[in-house]
Structure 1
Amino acid sequence: MYCRVGRPDLARAVLNGREQRNVVSWTAMVGGYTENEMFECAVDAFRAMWLIDGILPNTIVLISVLSAVEALSALAEGKQVHGFAVRMGMYGEVSLSNALIDTYAKFGALHYARRVFDDTSWCKDVISWGAMILGYGIHGMGVEAVALFDQMLASGVKPDRIVGLGVLSACCHAGLVLKGLDIYNSLAKDHGVQPTEEMCACIVDLLGRSGHVDHALDFIKSMSVEPGPSVWGALLDASVRHSYKEIQDLASNSLLRLGEGKPSNLVAVSNINASSERWNVVERVRNMINQGSLKKETGRSWVNPT
């Protein structure tokens, strides 16, 4: 209860006051710390659970603490959780294995992620495939992501929207234009995966990065979903990069009309209009950016400097 209202400190006080603590109470405590972004406390509670109280964590606790480890960019601790699961005979449960793949992939430790993925002692589901594909994609290994996607299809696993977005993003970052277009068309036609705005934004970005800005605009006009900020933002980036002035104005006006999306999109709109000395538009955009919902979030790196 206390964790749900943002007071995990009171929850811990209650837990510490109990004569007998069990796996349920510790599971709630670790999860509560993680949900309230008190990640170091979550890791400390995990350790206290089995080092002090001698209570064996369950898979739910391990998954919760892996989320905390991710947020702390603590690869060493992630390996410790993995090793603990293996020693305690808890390794091989699908949701835990998926969490390990996701954690290792976000750290950039793709060889460890792939080692978990390739282990034949557990049965992979679509989430497993998606986590590994997305891991390759976010680290620029588009060829590997596409190869794994093809392997997934050959094994009979049906892709979903998350997998589709992951492999399209990988194609985008690797510049695999034709392959990305083929996969996009195949997702709907052969696998019944209806495109989302995010998937469409990947295609616009894919075409735009390769210089096909006109084709990117044609694609937007043919979309089956309403283009939103991510789509127009991708087109704006491409039109600026390749100096398509008319398309810049179209994308800029569309973002202003929507009045939402990433602050970076609106910063680009502001800069474009500033270069054309449209100061009234610049002021309008700056006012939008300064609204609470559009303030930039502080960046976070997955790289552990230690």
Structure 2
Amino acid sequence: MYRRGVLEAQGFPARELAERLRDDDVTVWVDLCGPSQADLALIADELGLHELAVEDALHPHERPKLDRYETHCFLSAYAVRLDRSGRLETSELSAFLTRHALVTVRADDRFDVAALTTRWDESPKLAGSGVGFLAHGLLDAVVDSHFEAVQALDEHIERLEDLVFADHPDNRDLQRRALALRKSLVTLRRVVLPMREVVNALMRHDLVDDAIMPYYQDVYDHVLRATEWTESLRETVATIRETQLNLQGNRLNLIMKKVTGWAAIIAVPTAITGFYGQNVPYPGSDQPWGFWVSTAAILVVSGGLYALFKRRDWL
């Protein structure tokens, strides 16, 4: 519980919420990790939360959104983290925003609450904005996780670009990594793109006062940058895949040119020896010099074809 932006109490029972919130100078943050329906029902009764919002908080995989009700707003968002393999992990987070209370609901403990409270503690001069200040810290933490994931994905994609133009690329590994990155980007886009509407709608709410508004605008700018960056990376991954296929096609064409050239060179001695192998007399057929003439013809014609193909870069 905060009073005029100063932390006054913590760890008190949820049944005291209504009593403490009778003071207009008080702002309360309630954090629920993996709550049961009964736990959330108690908070809902104390704060008068809408049953549809409570149902959304209990059911996972909601779309990032901000729903407005008569006495409060319901926020759904996802914090993200990229592991070393390039796979994106999401942490769903729901929040109820009333005039004097913020209630966060987490399905598990993957969301770093300690980092969130640190953000609040680092900006005590803004704590007087009440719930608007707490909501800003929450959104800032979520959007920063999006931005960090985009940056990490960008680094993964840069390394993938280097592998595409390697002398001996592992095409199977490249394809697997490209598809994994594309999947992560699709997931990231699904949670980042709706955040523009969420932050924009909250900026128009009366919970956000003039003192905290510039900080919301900064978060909105980060959302736009993360969205544009995500779209750019999706196009980059698609381009890398197309480039890989084009390079494979070019290598195949080069191999076919070389195989065709060598086939033409090999065809010459095959034709000459096959011709001389016919059961008919030929010049020098019964003389040693006939063998040397056929051998010289093979070497000269084959060497000429090799030089011609080499000059035309067919070999």
TM range (shorter): under 0.3
Is the strand fraction higher in 1 or 2? Answer: 2
Is the helix fraction higher in 1 or 2? Answer: 1
Which is bigger in relative contact order (C-alpha 8 A, separation at least 6)? 2
Q: Of the two, which has the highest radius of gyration?
A: 2
What TM-score, normalized to structure 2?
A: 0.25
